[in-house]
Structure formats: C-alpha cells, structure tokens
Structure 1
Amino acid sequence: MIRLVLAAFMLFAALPARADVDIQEITTPGGIDAWLVEDHSIPFVALELRFRGGTSLDAPGKRGAVNLMTGLLEEGAGDLDARAFSRAADSLAASFSYDAGPDSLSVSARFLTENRDDSMALLKDSLVEPRFDEEAIERVRAQILSIIQSDQKDPEQIARARFDSLVYGDHPYGSDENGTLESVGALTREDIIAAHQATLARDRLYVSAVGDIDSEELASLLDTLLSDLPETGAPLPDDASLNLPGGIKVVDYATPQSIAIFAQPGLEREDPDFFPAFVLNHILGGGGFESRLMTEVREKRGLTYGVYSYLADRDDAQVWMGSVASANDRVAQAVEVIQAEWQRLREEGVTQEELDDAKTYLTGAYPLRFDGNGTIANIAVGMQMDGLGTEYIANRNDKVNAVTLEDVNRVAREWLDPEALTFVVTGQPEGLTDTLN
C-alpha cells in the first residue's frame, strides 16, 4: 500500500506545467551549495545530486569501472545486503536511482516528508558505505557484459562506437563507457572502490531539491547526507581534440539498413552565438517534421523514417551532429541530400517565416517542460552544471525571442561548415565511397 501512496504522490506532483519557478540559492553550514524550490502542496520531495566527471574518470586500463560501480550503489549498503536494501526502500516508499554518463554521475531520490530522515539515512549509506559484495559485483558485471555483447551486434551502437573513436580518439569520450568485455571482466573489487573514491566527491557536487522542505531543513539534510564524502576526487579530464576532417567513413556490417551519424564542430553553451545557433538547428534538423532535413530527406524523397540534428555541448567537446537511417540502396542519396542542405542553409540562410515558426514553437514548448517536482529538480541541477543563473528560467524565452533573422543567417554563414561535415555509416551502403581510410 505504501508504494501505491508514493506512486500517487509522484503522479500528482507531475500534473502542473509551469515556468514561474522560484529558486532559492542556499549554502549549508558545511559549505554545500544547493538550489531549492519549495512546494508544500504535497508531502513529497525530489532531490537531485550530480557529480561532475562521470565515466570519464575511469582510471587508465579500467574502462567501465565507474559504470559498474554506479550499478552497485543500490546493491547493498551499510548493514543491508542488496535484498534488504531494496526492502528498506520499499518500506519507506522511497525511490533512489543512480546513473553514470560521460560527464556526470547522477543520483535521484524521491521520498515522503514523513519518512525524510529514514530515507536519507538509507541514501547516505548507499553513497558513503556501499558494500560492493562479491555476489552483487558478479551479478551486475554479468548484466553489463550482456549489454556489451548486445551492442556489438547493434548497427546503431556500432556506428556510434566508431564515430566516437574517430572523432574523440584517446579521450574518454572515444570509447564505450560500459567498457569492453576484457576490461570489465578484469575489474576487481579494489578497482570499484577506487572508482567510488574518484567520482563521489564534494569538489564536483551539484544539488537541487524541489518539494515539501524549507531551506533550513534542506541545509541540515544535506550536511548530514553528504558530509562524509571525500572532499576531492580524481582530476577531471582535459578537453578533447576533435577529429572532424570531413568526408565519409564506411563500417561494413551485414544489415539491410545503414545507420549514418554525422557531425561538424559545434559551439559552447556560453558562446554569444548559442541562441541563434539553437534556433537555427531547430530549423535545420531539430524541429521534427517541420525541419529542413526532415522535409528534404523524408517528405520529398522518402529516404528515411527520421533524420535529425542537435547541438551537443559536452564538458570537454562541442559538436553539431545528427543521425539518419536508410536502406542500403538509398543511404547514399540521403547523405548527399544532407550535405546539400547543410551547404544551402549556409549560403541562403532561412526565411522570416521559418524563424517566426521556430521561435513560436520553442517558446511555447518551454513551459511544458516543468511538469513536476522531479523534472524541475533535474532541470535545476542541469542549469547549475551549465553555469546558468537562477534567473535563466524566467529569461530563457526572452533570449529566444531576441534572435533576429540577421543573427540566424550570420551564424549559418559562420558556423555551418560543409567541408568539415563528417559521416560514419554502418551497414552495406551502395554507392558510398570510404574517403577516410
């Protein structure tokens, strides 16, 4: 019954859609900075923790250690083994999730006000005293090895792996964060402990909370929850050196449909041209069925079910990239159309109507993102990691609306680079020549 109560609260908390979010910035007595959005309408709190670095902090020769370690955080802590930890969380109607990506390790907690202290004691054990029992290690290791084996047969995953290796080289971005069959198979418990100490440290921590809690309560909660974590972790990696020479890399794989991933250099979130580029990308390939790429590749020629582009701003690299899938005998034409549209948009720019439609969509859709405590907490912690101020939510649509036709078309001329547009195509594409051997 108590799990049904939490589910009802979480559903209830997801109903309102609003962008008038009042964010408080707090610093705890222990020196932890956090953002808080108070909402006392229901007795429920969403807490988000982010540790910068993520799987990029794998030690040399230990690829996959951070990912494996993260998967073990809920597999027993303190005096509780994996089953006892799960039962304890269920009994409190608390929900914890842990995930590792290339730039961060994330911890999400959802709990009822009445069970706050006990829920946070359980979460603290998972962060500070994970057991890393051998039985759990082998169980989670087997799950990850199964994922790696599956990815080795997935054309899209093969394309992404070859793209990452080509573009990012020896940087951690250039290899699979899951690791390889060999590297994961060789990881020891000591490697997992080292990954925990390298990653979950206070010098790379970002925190947001939304719900039924005030600033004093949150400050006390955070100091209790996080004060025993190491003060510093492993050094963060350097920026990646991008290899985007332009041209096509063909990866032979027996499949009736080819997967193409393409990219050129991108721009940082802090760049003054970011918002014009953001609007431009919506017109190019980010706007679904209304985008230029979808119109030209799918609607006019029927070469694919979907094609898209996006600005990828990682901590250590920025690329402007996209993807398309097409039958082997048609993918060459799809690539040609994408290349031509990249060139045409650079040379001719966009129309005022396209710009107005893009701005209307982007500003209208934005408030709909704020559809619950958990979502708001996730957005808020992401804003912190991106270096955005608490006023960003209120000002974001103004920044979109401020983009002019001159801005967008100047950015198209200066940033779109057809010569650097690099394709990695996995399949058996007809009529495509590998120019990057």
Structure 2
Amino acid sequence: MNLAETGTRTVSSPTQAMPVAAARGIEAWYVPSPLVPMIAVAFTFEGGAAQDPEGKAGTAQMLARLLDEGAGDLGSDAFQEALAARAIELHFHAGPDSIGGSLKMLVKHADEAIRLTALALAEPQLDPIAIERVRAQMIASLRYQQNDPGVMASRRYFREAFPDHPYSRPSAGTLESLAAITRDDLVAMHRSLIGRGGLKVAVVGAVEAEGVAAMLEKAFGGLPEAAPLTAVPPTHIHDLGRRIVVDLDVPQSVIRFGLGGVAWRDPDFIPAYVLNHILGGGAFTSRLFQEVREKRGLAYSVGTSLTSHRAVAMTWGYTATKNERVVEALDVIGDEIARLVQDGPSDEELQKAKDYLTGSYALSFDTSTKIANQLVQIAFEGLGMDYIARRNDMVAGVTQADIRRASARTFADGKMLVVAAGRPVGL
C-alpha cells in the first residue's frame, strides 16, 4: 500500500522517494502525493552559523531572517503581500551547519511560489531599513532572554564545551556581535552560503517528475556556485567532569549536561540512538524520568537527546530542580549512566525501546511538509535515499552487544560537563 492517511491529511509513503535531476547539477529527492493539490519543498545549503565571522556571531541567522524581507524589485511589504495573496508559506532558518528553508503552496500557485523563492535566494535586497528592523528584533529577543536560566545555562555550556571553536558562539549572536554586523557582512555571507554546490532539495506533492525538474531549474538555477566555506575543525567536549555554576537568584537551578555522542553518519548511531531512548530520550519510560521524577520527585522534566553536528556529536541533557537538590539529582543521573555502562539494559527494556522507536517512526511522515523536511535532512547527512526503508530494520536489529559498544563510545567513564544556572547548594 503506497498511501497512508492521517486524519484529513493524505500523503504518499516516503519510501517512494526518487531522484529528479535538473540542469546545472541540481538534484532533488521527490515523492509524488497526488491526492491533495499541494506541494511541499524543503531545501538546505551547507554552512551555517559556524561560518559567522569572528566577533559577529548571529550573521547567518540575521541573513536567514532577511531573505524574505524584500527581493528583486519587491520591497519587504510587497514581497510579503505577494506571498499572502496566494497563501504561500515560505520560511528560512539557520543552524550551526546549514541555512535553508521550506515552501508550501497550492499547485495552482506553484509558478508564483517558485518565482518568489528564486528571488529571495538569488536577489535578496538586504535593505538597510530591513536590516535595522531585524537587528532590533534579534536584540530585543536577546534582552528578553538575558535572565532566562535555561538560555544562560545553554550558552555557558557551549562556551565551555567548545572553547575557541565556532560552536562556542551563540548562533543568535550577542548584543555586541549583532551591533557589529554590517550589510557587507550579510552580502558576503549570502555569497558564501547560498549556492548550488552545497544544495539539497526534497519535493513532495501533486506534481510529476518533469514538473519537479522545471521547478528546480526555476528556483535554484539562477544561483552561483557557492564560495568555498571556512573549514570547521572536528572537536570534542572539553572539561568533562567539571561542574559550573551561573549565579542567578532563583529558587531552582536549570541544568544542562553533556557527554560523548555518535554522529548520525556513524555506523553506531542507531545503537546509540536506542541507548539514548533508554537513558533519557523515552519521555515517560526512560530511566532518568523514572528515577529522577517518578521515584524521587526531584524534577518535573528530565531527558537527553543525541545531537549530531558536522564537527561533533554529543549526548545533551537537561533538567531543573530546587537549589538544595541539585547535587542529589546529578548523582542520580550519574548513577543511571554508570549502571547502563556496567550492566546494560535488560532484554525487556531493550525490546520495549525498539518497539517504540519502530512503531512511532511513521508519525514523522504524516504530512507532506514533514516528509520533505525529513528527506532533506537525510540527504544533508548523506545517509542515502533508502535510509527510511532501512531504518526500522536497523533499529530492530540492535543487540545487547551493540548497546554495550555504543555505551562505551558515548558514556565512557561517565564524566559529564555540567552547567547549573541558579544557586545550587553544595555544587
């Protein structure tokens, strides 16, 4: 069966993905979805906030916010009105290693949607008035977050974990760095990032393969080859075992902690992913949720995720608890990590994790937009077009030996870099 229905939304199976090539070396992964007259497009370019100039963190994110603030002969208001008049949804975003966007439109408005996307990518105005407006918005957001314990803990964590590395810089910038960004910086960033060379595209919707090829040419054919990127050197988490306090006069501390990880492109990623689900990624079923929240009432939420960047992978964790119970919470977390390293999960625990991860995977593909976003991320990681078809079998095949190997690589001696924003007692 090729079609899956979720409520009123009907989309094709992502395992139907096929390559479609256009001129100038542009290629997309394409999934036909003919029952609803809509098209979803996701695209990403290599290079993101890690390419920000020294002292000007936030440049890539500012550029992403400005791409739809006027392009070609359309000013900001005219560009937004052209989108709204046809219910076209066009958004841009920037992360540590990429800058990209998403597009959703009715089939009957596809030509105009593609035209506007091509303008935004190839001919953004980067108007000085729009630059100052976006700069002010970003600065206002930073000021609002200045006393947010979670934001402060996260920023301090990355600064300490990756010193003298692009990942140490906040992708949203700082008050000082945002003020220093010039239009010339944005033009240079656009020239270096927005080009055909590092482009990945996914298209899902009611369009034939020939129509996809035409869309690719119109949307991206006018882009140059991107300029060479600045090399981002491989790194690792520094100061494992260290505990850092960001002093804030609040009744509870917000905690961020990290250990080693496995990159998505690594053969051990799937075992590490299952391991992370057992430790802290499994919401109500994870060991940390049960031990920290359910049994001891130390925190309302606690969890971990496996994070993969181009230059580093890590197990990234979070929780928040009363200042006087921070040490106890961290001890419990450390004990659970040590138990997993020493004893591994039970056979029943491992099977339940695999059952959940295979059974819930389809929920990532219940709309055309979700399929497009997942496909472009898989393409960006270089995992192969058949990854979606293979993924559940890989999860189901994880053994206890795989888990032991993954835990040795990720948790090692169990030492964590910890940052607590608050006034934790005895830390």
The bucket for the TM-score relative to the shorter chain is over 0.9
Q: Deviations over 1:121-157 (max 9, x none)?
A: 1111111111111221111110000111122211100
1:316 matches 2:330:
no
Match of residue 166, structure 2, among 167, 172, 181: 172
Distance in 2 of aligned mates of 1:254 and 1:140: 32
1:51 matches 2:45:
yes
Q: Deviations over 1:292-339 (max 9, x none)?
A: 111111111100001101111111111112111111111111011111
Partner of 2:80: 86
How far did residue 181 of structure 1 move?
Answer: 1.1
Residues 47 and 110 in structure 1, CA contact (< 8 A), matched pair in contact too? yes
Distance in 1 of aligned mates of 2:132 and 2:164: 29
Match of residue 241, structure 2, among 243, 246, 249: 246
Match of residue 394, structure 1, among 389, 398, 412: 389
Distance in 2 of aligned mates of 1:366 and 1:266: 21
Partner of 2:362: 367
How far did residue 92 of structure 1 move?
Answer: 2.0
The amino acid across from 2:97 in the alignment is D
The alpha-carbon distance between structure 1 residues 75 and 417, as it changes in their structure 2 partners (threshold 3 A), is same
How far did residue 266 of structure 1 move?
Answer: 1.1
Residues 259 and 410 in structure 2, CA contact (< 8 A), matched pair in contact too? no
1:331 matches 2:331:
no
Q: Which moved more, 1:265-274 or 1:290-299?
A: 265-274
Secondary structure of the residue that 2:213 maps to in structure 1?
Answer: helix
Match of residue 426, structure 2, among 401, 416, 431: 431
Partner of 1:267: 262
Match of residue 183, structure 2, among 189, 192, 197: 189
Superposition map of 1:3-402 within 5 A? 15-16=9-10, 19=13, 21-242=15-236, 243-402=238-397
Q: Which runs of 4+ in 1 moved over 6 A?
A: 11-14
Distance in 2 of aligned mates of 1:336 and 1:274: 27
How far did residue 19 of structure 1 move?
Answer: 4.9
How far did residue 22 of structure 1 move?
Answer: 0.2
The amino acid across from 1:154 in the alignment is D
Residues 13 and 373 in structure 1, CA contact (< 8 A), matched pair in contact too? no
Distance in 2 of aligned mates of 1:19 and 1:180: 43
Structure 2 stretches lacking a partner, 5+ long: none
The amino acid across from 1:371 in the alignment is D
Residues 28 and 201 in structure 2, CA contact (< 8 A), matched pair in contact too? yes
Residues 358 and 395 in structure 2, CA contact (< 8 A), matched pair in contact too? yes
Q: Deviations over 1:232-268 (max 9, x none)?
A: 2341432342214323112211111111111112112
How far did residue 410 of structure 1 move?
Answer: 4.0
Distance in 2 of aligned mates of 1:310 and 1:180: 26
How far did residue 351 of structure 1 move?
Answer: 0.4
The alpha-carbon distance between structure 1 residues 249 and 115, as it changes in their structure 2 partners (threshold 3 A), is same
The amino acid across from 1:29 in the alignment is A
TM-score (norm 2): 0.95
Structure 1 stretches lacking a partner, 5+ long: 1-10, 433-437
Q: Percent identity?
A: 39
Q: Which moved more, 1:114-123 or 1:301-310?
A: 114-123
Secondary structure of the residue that 2:142 maps to in structure 1?
Answer: helix
Distance in 2 of aligned mates of 1:150 and 1:198: 31
Distance in 2 of aligned mates of 1:331 and 1:280: 24
How far did residue 13 of structure 1 move?
Answer: 9.4
Secondary structure of the residue that 2:424 maps to in structure 1?
Answer: coil
Distance in 2 of aligned mates of 1:145 and 1:76: 21
The amino acid across from 2:308 in the alignment is D
Q: How large is the RMSD of aligned CA atoms in angstroms? A: 1.8
Residues 277 and 408 in structure 1, CA contact (< 8 A), matched pair in contact too? yes
Secondary structure of the residue that 1:42 maps to in structure 2?
Answer: coil
Secondary structure of the residue that 2:360 maps to in structure 1?
Answer: helix
Residues 265 and 383 in structure 2, CA contact (< 8 A), matched pair in contact too? no
Q: Which moved more, 1:383-392 or 1:417-426?
A: 417-426
How far did residue 419 of structure 1 move?
Answer: 4.3
